[in-house]
Amino acid sequence: MKATYIRTSFLVAALFLTASCKKYLEEQPNNALPTESSITDANTAKAAIIGAYDRLQGYYASSYPTLGTITTDNVIFNGTLSEYLQLDQNAIPTDNVITVSAYQGIYRAINSANSVIAAVPQISDPLLIQADKDKIVGEAYFIRALCYFDLARGWGGVQLQLQPTTDLNGLKGVKRSTLEQTYDQVLADLVQAEQLLPEDPTTRNRAQKSTARALRARLHLYRKQWADAENYATQVISNTKYALVKPYKAFFTAPFQTTESVLELAYSVNDRNSYWNLWYPSSSGGQFTLKPSDALVAKLTNPTVGGSRNSLIAGTAPTIYGVLYNTTASSSDPSYLIRISELYLIRAEARAHLNDLIGAAADLNTIRARADVPATTAATQDELLQAIEDENAIEFAFEAHRWFDLVRTERAGAVLGITNKNFWLFPIPYSDVLSDPDVTQNPGY
């Protein structure tokens, strides 16, 4: 939404990986095509949505998952780069490289989705039938919904840009929305996505109806709309396409796209996900910047807590490292955005709040049984909610959940010692505040 990342309204898929042009849009970029001349037929429409996924891959390949992990008690800093140390210490300046990369990367993905939403319905090409149009536009709505959801839970209410940026005038006067307004936009986009998307029995790396329902279940959980969270989680769980895999490690070892995945972003040797590099020690070619905490290692290696989830770590002390991202040679690890296990735990938490304690315990025990740990002994509502929080922390130890879970449940103070709620949100990049008078900084920064 700023001049730094609105300078191209659209890049065809292959051009998304090229270097940025830092000229203003009054000049024609030499590495990009304007929307009106780039999305014009079936081929460019299909390239456009691939490009939007590529933008999504960009911020999920490293920066956003890092924000959800190193900021918590599961992962600690083990490197030399100050930007990671700042996150680990929850002392984040407004120019922190990781938060800036995530924030601006998300808006780049939004602008790509906006271009698809605006252009594809206008295309007249006999090779692009209505069903294909609907699918492409539905995917764009889903991508935009996910992007605004990720912004909202990380930065609070944000500027809602719903049209592709074709000139700088389109940015003027866009104030920050409230958190509720931002979540309302997420919901509106998910409703559109669910209506337009098909239900594909095999695809797990592109959005479809169940993907929209799954994100909607997560959205309702964050908004404390317990009945809706339970309803949409149940719709996904009831889809026989999805099932927990056993053993636990089967979902993150080849082949990918198991029945566990509701949505994962695919990478390849030509489109790499190098996140593993932050986890593996130098002896295996990595930086070892992110390291499982001693407390997490103790839980993962406790048969009554971690069970088969001890497969998330390897090595011996002091060189114990995370192996969720394990295809080090090819860098083709997926980004696991939504797994069916999350839907069980969403429903468990919703049911606990609705005082369906038997149902909540049943869903929790489904996840525990898959991990070969004993059934929960929690009986009261408070005990079950704590047990579900603890299970989430282990089940998604190295995925972008723990920080956001502790913030949404207002437990970041008790668990992490961050009692100043201002710091439960990340700072808006300093460069964005400087370049746009309509951007206001989050309190405390």
pLDDT band at 200 (very low <50, low <70, confident <90, very high): confident
For range 202-224, the mean pLDDT: 97
Average of per-residue pLDDT values in the chain:
92
For range 193-214, the mean pLDDT: 95
Within 120-252, residue ranges assigned H as helices are 130-155, 179-196, 209-222, 226-237
pLDDT digits (tens, 9 = 90+) for 390-412: 999 999 999 999 999 999 999 99
Q: For residue 430, with 0-12 CB atoms within 10 Å meaning exposed, 13-18 middle and 19 or more buried, which class applies?
A: middle
DSSP 3-state of 147: helix
Decide if pLDDT at 244 tops 80.
Answer: yes
Specify if 441 maps to a domain. no
- Which one of 198, 213, 245 terminates a domain? 198
Are 275 and 343 in a shared domain?
Answer: yes
Domain CATH for 364? 1.25.40.390
Specify if 205 maps to a domain. no
> How far, in Å, CA of 16 to CA of 132, rounded?
22
Tell me which residue of 210, 206, 328, 220 sits closest to 273, measured CA to CA: 328
Are 250 and 342 in a shared domain?
Answer: yes
Are 275 and 374 in a shared domain?
Answer: yes
Question: Quick one: how far is CA 228 from the chain centroid?
Answer: 21
Element (H, E) at 116: helix 97-119
> How far, in Å, CA of 324 to CA of 330, rounded?
14
Are 246 and 385 in a shared domain?
Answer: yes
Are 8 and 145 in a shared domain?
Answer: yes
- Which one of 198, 233, 251 terminates a domain? 198
Specify if 213 maps to a domain. no
Specify if 356 maps to a domain. yes
Are 34 and 173 in a shared domain?
Answer: yes
Are 185 and 324 in a shared domain?
Answer: no
Are 155 and 284 in a shared domain?
Answer: no
Residue 82 CB contacts under 8 Å (≥ 6 apart), including other chains:
none
Are 164 and 43 in a shared domain?
Answer: yes
pLDDT digits (tens, 9 = 90+) for 131-152: 999 999 999 999 999 999 999 9
> How far, in Å, CA of 106 to CA of 108, rounded?
5
The proportion of the chain whose per-residue pLDDT surpasses 70, expressed as a percent, equals: 91
Decide if pLDDT at 440 tops 90.
Answer: yes
> How far, in Å, CA of 230 to CA of 337, rounded?
19
Specify if 63 maps to a domain. yes
> How far, in Å, CA of 243 to CA of 258, rounded?
9
Are 108 and 251 in a shared domain?
Answer: no
Backbone angles phi, psi at 356, to 5 degrees: -90, 75
Residue 189 belongs to domain spanning: 1-198
Decide if pLDDT at 7 tops 90.
Answer: no
Are 180 and 234 in a shared domain?
Answer: no
Residue 11 tokens read as 């890049």
Specify if 418 maps to a domain. yes
Number of domains in the chain: 2
Residue 422 tokens read as 């201002």
Place of tokens 């730094």: 4
Specify if 39 maps to a domain. yes
Contact present, 346 and 388 (Cβ < 8 Å):
no
Specify if 433 maps to a domain. no
Q: Tell me the range of 15-24, 268-277, 414-423 where mean pLDDT is highest.
A: 414-423
Are 325 and 185 in a shared domain?
Answer: no
422: Cα within 13 Å, side-chain hemisphere: 10
Distances (CA, A) of 233 to 142, 186, 275, 339: 17, 17, 29, 11
pTM of the model: 0.91
pLDDT of 34: 54
pLDDT digits (tens, 9 = 90+) for 145-181: 999 999 999 999 999 999 998 765 666 789 999 999 9
pLDDT digits (tens, 9 = 90+) for 259-305: 999 999 999 999 999 999 999 999 999 999 999 999 999 999 999 99
Residue 439 tokens read as 């951007």
